[in-house]
Chains A and B, each alone.
Chain A
Amino acid sequence: MIVSCHCSCLQNYPLYIRSVPTEDELKFHYTVHTSLDVVEDKISSVSKALVDQRELYLGLLYPTEDYKVYGYVTNSKVKFVIVVDSSNTALRDNEIRSMFRKLHNSYTDVMCNPFYNPGDPIQSKAFDNMVSTMMVQVS
C-alpha cells in the first residue's frame, strides 16, 4: 500500500500531502522531508555524471526497514515523493513509474487551472480523487 504521497515545489515547501490515516502520520511527513535532501543530491549528480540519462524519474531514494521512498522531479523542479510499504513486494518499478506519470499529468492540469496560483497548496478535487484512486489501487 502507499503510505504517503507528497509534492513540493522549488523552495521545498509542501504543495500537497496525503497519507493513510494512522497514528504516526507525522513520522511520514518527517521521512518525506528528509528524503528531499536525497532528491536534491540526485538532481545535482545527474546533471554532472549521467548527461545522457536525464530522466525525471529518480527511482528508489532510500529503503528503510519498513518503507520504500521513491522520488520524481519535473522540469519545473516540482518534486513528487511516494512512500510505499516495504512488505508490498508485488509493486514493480514500472508501476511506480506510471504512478508518477499520473501524478505529473494531474499536476499539469492543476497548473493550467487559471484559478490556481502557482506555489499555493493544491486544493483541486480532481487531483485529490486521482491520488485516492491510486492509493486504493495499490493497497
Chain B
Amino acid sequence: MEDEALFEFLHMEMVAHVYKKHTSREETEQERGKCISVLERMGFRVGQGLIERFTKDTPSFKDDLDLMKFLCKDFWIYVFRKQIDNLRTNHQGTYVLQDNKFRLLTQLSNGKQYLEEAPKYLAYTCGMVRGALSNLGVESVVTAEVSSLPSCEFPLI
C-alpha cells in the first residue's frame, strides 16, 4: 500500500510541476500540447524500462493478441495492482483497453466533476503503454478518453 501511495503522489507532483509555469488560463490552453508531450515522453521511457524487466521471465509472444493480453493482465497488475476490465479489438490492429476504476483518477471524483482536468493525469500512462509496446516491436498511437471519472479508455492503434 505504501509504495503505491508513493507513486501516486510522485505522479501528482509531476503533473503539477509540468503545468506550474503557466499561470493564466489562456496560457495553459496554448501550452497544453507541450505539457502533455512532456509527460508522455517521461512515461515512454519508463514503459520501455518496465517492459524489459517484466518480460524477462515470460516466454516469447505468439502474436499481437497474446501481447495485448499480457499488457492487460500482467503489466497492468504490476503497475496498477489490477487488471484491465475490458479489452476490445476490431481485429485490424485497433485495441481498446477499458479500466473502470483507473487508479490515478479514483481520488479525483466519482462523476463528471473535474472532467476537463482528467487528461493531464492520463498522458503519463499513455506514454508508458506506448513505450512498453514500442519496446516489444509494436509501433502504436495511444490516446486516452474519459467520459466519466474514474473510468477511462485507452484506444490504441
Chain A contacts to B: CB under 8 angstroms: 10, 43, 46-47, 51, 54-56, 73-77, 104-105, 107-108, 111-112, 114, 118
* B61 beta carbon closer than 8 Å to chain A: yes
CB of B75 to closest CB in A, whole Å: 12
Per DSSP, chain B at the interface is: loop
Task: Specify which chain B residues have a CB less than 8 angstroms from the CB of A118 in the assembled complex.
Answer: 45, 48, 135
The answer for the CA separation of A77 and B61 in the assembled complex, in Å, is 11
A73 partner, pick from B49, B60, B135, B136, beta carbons under 8 A: B60
- A76→B49 contact, CB < 8 A: no
Measured CA separation A77–B16 after assembly (Å):
36
Contact, CB under 8 Å: B62 / A76: no
A55 touches B60 (CB 8 A): yes
A56–B53 touching, CB < 8 Å: no
* A111 cross-chain contacts in B, Cβ below 8 A: 48-49, 52-53
B107 at the binding interface (Cβ < 8 Å): no
User: Interface residues of B toward A: which range?
Assistant: 10 to 19
Whether B60 lies near A114 (C-beta < 8 A) is no
Once the chains bind, are A108 and B62 in contact (CB under 8 Å)? no
Q: Which residues of B contact A105 (CB under 8 A)?
A: 56
Main secondary structure of the interface of A (DSSP, over half): loop
Which residue of chain B is the closest to A104 with respect to CB atoms?
B56
Which residue of chain B lies nearest to A75 when distances are taken between CB atoms in the complex? B55
| Across-interface contacts of A43 in B (CB, < 8 A) | 60
Bound-state CA distance A73–B59 (Å) is 11
Q: Are A75 and B58 touching (Cβ within 8 A)?
A: yes
B contacts, CB < 8 Å to A: 45, 48-49, 51-53, 55-56, 58-63, 135-137
Instruction: Say yes or no: A76 contacts B60, CB within 8 Å.
Output: no
Contacts A76-B52, A112-B49 given: A56-B59 contact, CB under 8 Å?
yes
Q: In the complex the two chains form, is A108's CB within 8 Å of B60's CB?
A: no
A69 to B89, CA, bound (A): 41
Are the C-beta atoms of B59 and A55 separated by less than 8 Å? yes
Residues of B within 8 A of A46 (CB): 60
